[in-house]
Structure 1
Amino acid sequence: MARNRTPRDAESTRQAVALSTLMILTFVTGVVDAVGYLALDRVFVGNMTGNIVILGMAVAGGDDLPILGPAIALAAFTVAAFAAGLFLRTRRKEWGGAVTGLLIAGAVVIAALGVAFLIPDAADSEALILTASTLTAAAMGMQAAVARSLAVADMTTVVVTSTLTSLASESLVDGGIRGFWNRRLGAIVLIFLGALAGAALLVFGPGVPLLLAALLTVVVVVIGHRRLFTPARREPVVA
């Protein structure tokens, strides 16, 4: 006889689903960052730390590094994260309509860029390359804002330096080798695998990995909206 699910069981399930969705989005970050750096003039579209470092070296005149692409991507990421934060600020730690809408918007943008790159000779267009790095960075800014809003521990989807630090200085110190196998390691491995997949798929052009990233984002939206969606609470009307 199956036992009744307790509120604690339900909450554990929700947390597991939320963790899974953000793990997939972490993989997506690896995919699009590989595309950005290798095909969009060495622009990181998800990891803004990389762009700031590139800009610093470029301003110093290092190795003919780009300035315009990383600078615009950095601005687009920041503006999009700010705009997303305005939509999300009233419902932190919940999967509401704003989360679904923002992720769908990002997926549509990335998919449209993927289709554009399927056009013959499009990958050589400087205008499309700059547009793609800018809009993809904006999509990732929205994704990062969603991840912070959902507040799943150690899952930012776009940054793994802090995750790696936590893994080494906390998990390994406190739990030894047993503390190594956790979500922190999972996030690091997934962004690595995403970058690996993105780089490998570039043999077919930037469009294919971008379409994969868009598809995976849609998968996340479907899972999250079905399993985690929380309707907005309405205040009772006082007569």
Structure 2
Amino acid sequence: MSDERRGRVPPGPTHPADPGLVLRLAVVLLVAASGAVETISFTALDHVFAGVMTSNLALLGMAAGRGQDTGVTAAVLALAGFGAGAAAVAWPTRRSTGVVTHWSARVMLCLVAEAVVLAAIAGVWAAVGGTPDGTTRHVLQFGAALAIGVQSAAMVAAGRAAAPTTYLTGTLATYIVKGLGSTRSQRWVPARLGALVAGAAACMALLRAARTWAPVLPVALVVCALLMACLPLVRMGPDGVRPTA
């Protein structure tokens, strides 16, 4: 009996619509989005990171040591926003079981929530002409960290179908220690690292050329990632199983 009759598809070249490929591309887009958010957070808000909590803890310590109330406030807002975002995802996804072929509905809804938060940030940013100050800047800082916290936790909940998208130091270390290109997933590490740089660079260019529209970039990237992540679900049958023939 042939492999097709047994319900198995023989290995062959990866198709653009293959769930493994499209999910990896969706992850790359999310990494680019996080790079864009970090650029806005660090260069245009309170000079703290939206998703790198190790650095924010160090910045908090330095600000406290210098007696700078503003620096302490910014770091605390970023830490609180990230923690709130991660906690908000942890509750609805606590019983989710990650699968390799697709992201669960709860993970997708969390990413939709991230896109909504980023869109709200873009709206407020545009309303103040791209130059927030005082309380508005603090609110946007908290919101940026909240969005990245949601994204980080959503990727954890997605399990083997995802990868880190907001803090890649561990990813880089693992890539170097375990061997360059040793596994299929490791081969995507350069793409993710490059996407972080590209997202940050593109957002910085927008901040210089069209400052009011810069926060639209991460919104667009997250939406594109969501649309790409929907492709494996579209290819599945009504019983949730991908057709094999």
Q: How many residues align?
A: 227
Give the alignment's TM-score, normalised by structure 1: 0.82
Match of 1:198 among 196, 203, 206: 203
CA deviation map 1:50-82 (0-9, x unaligned)? 211211211111888711112111111112111
2:119 to 107, 111, 116: 111
**Distance between the aligned counterparts of 1:65 and 1:160, measured in 2?**
28
| 1:168 matches 2:173 | no
- 2:193 is aligned to 188
Structure-1 separation of matches of 2:32 and 2:233: 20
Which residue is equivalent to 2:37?
A: 32
Matches within 5 A, 1:80-119: 80-94=85-99, 95-119=103-127
Q: Tell me which residue corresponds to 1:132.
A: 140
Contact 1:19/1:152 (8 A) holds in 2: no
Change (3 A) 1:81 1:207: farther
The alpha-carbon distance between structure 1 residues 8 and 52, as it changes in their structure 2 partners (threshold 3 A), is farther
Considering only aligned residues, what root-mean-square deviation do their CA atoms show, in Å?
Answer: 3.2
Corresponding residue number in structure 2 for 1:215: 220
Residue 162 (structure 1) shift: 0.7
- Partners of 2:118 and 2:111 lie apart in 1 by 11
1:143 and 2:143 matched? no
Aligned residues of 1:167 and 1:185 also touching (Cα < 8 A): no
1:107 partner letter: A
Correspondence 1:74 to 2:79: yes
Range moving further from structure 2, 41-50 or 137-146 = 41-50
- In structure 2, distance between residues paired with 1:32 and 1:201: 12
Q: Which amino acid aligns with 1:114?
A: A
Shift in Å, 1:207: 4.2
Unaligned runs of 5+ in 1: 235-239
User: Which has the larger share of helix?
Assistant: 1
Q: Gaps spanning 5+ residues in structure 2: where?
A: 241-245
Task: Judge conservation of contact 2:23–2:162 (CA < 8 Å) in 1.
Answer: no
Query: Structure 1 residues 127 and 188 mapped into 2: Cα distance closer, same or farther (>3 Å)?
Result: same
- Cα 1:65–1:219 change in 2 (3 A) is same
Maintained 8 Å contact 1:113/1:207: no
Identical-residue share of aligned pairs (%): 25
In 1, are the aligned partners of 2:23 and 2:228 still within 8 Å (CA)? no
TM-score (norm 2): 0.80
